[in-house]
Amino acid sequence: MEFLSEYGMFVAKAVTTVIAILVVTSVVLASGGRGRRTGKRGTVRVSKLNEHFEELRDSLREVVLDKESLKSLRKEEKKQAKANKKEAKAVRKNPADNHSDNSSTVGSSKRVYVINFKGNIAADAVVCLREEISAILSLATRDDEVLVRLESPGGMVHAYGLASSQLVRLKHAQIPLTICVDKVAASGGYMMACLADKLVAAPFAIIGSIGVLVQLPNFHRALKKHEVDYEIISAGEYKRTLTTFGEITEKGRDKVREDVETIHGIFKHWVKEHRPSVDIDKISTGETWLGSQAKERYMVDEIRTSDECILSACETADVFEVEYELPKSIQEKLGAAFESAIEKGFSQLVNQPNNDKFQ
């Protein structure tokens, strides 16, 4: 038993040492790459999702169908494709005669642009979002559509305000906007999501949290106990209200509370303006709901996954995924890889007890 105990301590120390080395290395590499993007622009990567799904389908057919069935199916598809090409050509020659409401016509001129937004507290993804939307606006028409796959637990008000403003650019251009939430769109995430002409959520997606939060630790009493002074020199009565080390006064606390209520009021007005069917007083309590519950409260329009929406769009339109990629130095790539490894390892350590519990 003593050997096992010593061995366990050795393993724990080794793991701790490795993690510490990885953390320091990733920080050094990431900081070494900062400031090296001066004058460089990212690139827009566009992929046609219709072709991607066709490749998946063909791969499955090759294995599942017998040769005769596969041959017959391909022959029928070529025949249909030829007919569609002929019809599309006729439409281009005589566009005024195309009054058909049959939206299932393959070869339709409609395009659907898919962009992804995965938000963090600082909404850093807005850097790419603004470029993706700028690229789309240079080509898209009112007959097209933009589909945003949105995932965000919320964060800073000003950051998500900017992200929301990027989506407003699509509204001003009168381009239909569909937003799909597969996992979470809460707080600032819902601030963005409510702009959609059609808001779609997965059944267990987390929706809501229409509230405002300010929190920070305060060490004033600890500093006072150890006779450490902390000075703040400022101009303006409310330049500093709540601070980490300064004494929190009732006047300062009241001012922050007033600011929070003001921002909350603006947030509620924003949601009500873009989702007029909601009972804003009932949903602006800071609570969150699952997708199906949110639909009952008119916070979303439809219960589906983004996969269903995109596959459906592929039947009637050309669907393109648009991604803006920023150039990364070798140091940044290595730093990101280290950070990802650390995050994955930490997640496994934290979740292991829970995983064992439900096996």
Q: Which residues are catalytic?
A: 187, 239
What's the rounded Cα separation, in Å, for the pair 346 and 342? 6
Cα angle 264, 270, 276; round to 5:
120
Contact yes or no for 242/216 (Cβ under 8 A): yes
Question: Which residues are 43's β-sheet partners?
Answer: 325
Question: Residue 141 in 3-state DSSP?
Answer: coil
Main-chain dihedrals φ then ψ at residue 206, nearest 5 degrees: -95, 125
| Residues in Cβ contact with 321 at an 8 Å cutoff, skipping those fewer than 6 apart | 46, 47, 49, 113, 114, 115, 116
Contact yes or no for 178/309 (Cβ under 8 A): yes
Burial tier of 205 (Cβ tally within 10 Å: 0-12, 13-18, 19+): buried
Minimal CA–CA distance to 195: which of 274, 129, 126, 118?
Answer: 274
Helix, strand, coil shares of the chain, percent, nearest 5, are 55, 15, 30
The 10 Å Cβ neighbour count of residue 104 is: 7
What's the rounded Cα separation, in Å, for the pair 308 and 315? 11
What's the rounded Cα separation, in Å, for the pair 359 and 357? 6
Contact yes or no for 253/218 (Cβ under 8 A): no
Q: Rounded to whole angstroms, what are the CA distances from 276 to 112, 195, 259?
A: 26, 11, 25
